[in-house]
Amino acid sequence: MITPTAPFPAPRAAAAATGPTVAIDIGGTKIAGALVHPDGTMTATTRRATPRGADAEGVMAAVTEVVADLSGSPLWASAVRCGIGSAGPVDTSRGTVSPVNIGAWREFPVQARVAAELAAHGAELPTVLAGDGVAMTAAEHWLGAARGHSNALCMVVSTGVGGGLILNNQLHPGPTGNAGHIGHMSVAFDGEPCVCGSRGCVESIASGTAIARWARDQGWTPEAGVSSGNGAGSTRDASAAGVAAAAAAGDPVALAAFDRAGRALAAAIAATATLVETDIAVIGGGVAASGDILFAPIRTHLAAYATLSFVKELQVVPATLGTHAGLIGAAAAATMLLPSPPSP
């Protein structure tokens, strides 16, 4: 449960209605649920492991169990809306998801299926679907590092790179829910192919997977935590976290891997800010947990890319909500995107 130190206003488009929002957070490892209240507190939190090796209905069964758990709350009858945050790709115009980390779901109609489960438990609620990057953006704008900023880019840098936009204090998901997907902005015209089919995408350079792959290709050895005979560090972790640990110990290839990632992120952040005049970039996700190993090169390179007068003061800061961002974001996205219900 997240309890703010002082009452927070509900997201900008919030209703006069004061009931909680049903929040569902769907990811590759867990499916979580909560009732999120207008002050940002959460009750009735529950979760299930995302089924491995299950078919589409097997995965949906875990979502059904989460909804059933929430319906047991004494506050269930007062819920006013539902937000679903999901790993993507998503198509919010159709209410479908095809998460890369849930292979059983391809164009799965999760919004309609969740709405049906809500109705089966006596709650016929307006329901909205948001990609996880958009949900994180809504969360950080409401209660996190982007609070108070009218125009913001929020990003998740993890095994992939996603994001979302706040423009004029409004969440801007775009027609299919994918606006702000900064991970597939090309920053290297002659770069290596990306899984999306393009070349030189931010994700192909700055994701945790890409950082670790590039470091290994350049001779970094996770068994010793060293490269090119340098004796720095000691780790057996071959992931981006291992590269970050080696970089913290001074390993030159590990440092170069994060500098390369930081440069790609800086170029994309500056381009986004130049296009829509965002004044802050909030970065969360597993790679962001490396702290200044990532943020220092981003800020250094940003000075070379964000040169126009209206982007020179652009801030780059870490996200603050951590594991709460998925559920808080699902609720915030629903509150911002759905029409306000009439007051009783």
Q: For residue 89, is the peptide bond before it cis, meaning its omega torsion is within 30 degrees of 0? A: yes
Q: Mean pLDDT lowest for which of 34-43, 109-118, 125-134, 222-231?
A: 222-231
219-246 average pLDDT score: 70
Residue 236 has pLDDT above 60, yes or no: yes
- Token look-up 């006069």 returns 16
Residue 126 has pLDDT above 80, yes or no: yes
Q: Mean pLDDT lowest for which of 133-147, 187-201, 218-232?
A: 218-232
The pairing of beta strand 81-86 with beta strand 21-26? parallel
pLDDT of residue 234: 44
What span, in angstroms and rounded, lies between the C-alpha atoms of 53 and 51? Answer: 7
Write down the pTM of the prediction: 0.89
Residue 75 has pLDDT above 80, yes or no: yes
pLDDT of residue 18: 81
pLDDT of residue 4: 40
In DSSP terms, 90 is beta-bridged to 97
pLDDT band for position 343 (50/70/90)?
low
**Side-chain half-sphere CA neighbours of 56 within 13 A:** 11
What's the chain's average pLDDT?
Answer: 91
Q: Let me know: does 206 contact 287? Beta carbons within 8 Å.
A: yes
Residues with Cβ within 8 Å of 50's Cβ and at least 6 positions away in sequence, in order, are 26, 27, 28, 29, 30, 31, 59, 62, 102
- The 10s digit of each residue's pLDDT in 32-71 is 999 999 999 999 999 999 999 999 999 999 999 999 999 9
Q: Let me know: does 110 contact 84? Beta carbons within 8 Å.
A: yes
Count the Cβ atoms, other than its own, within 10 Å of residue 227. Answer: 23
pLDDT band for position 339 (50/70/90)?
confident
Q: Let me know: does 41 contact 18? Beta carbons within 8 Å.
A: no
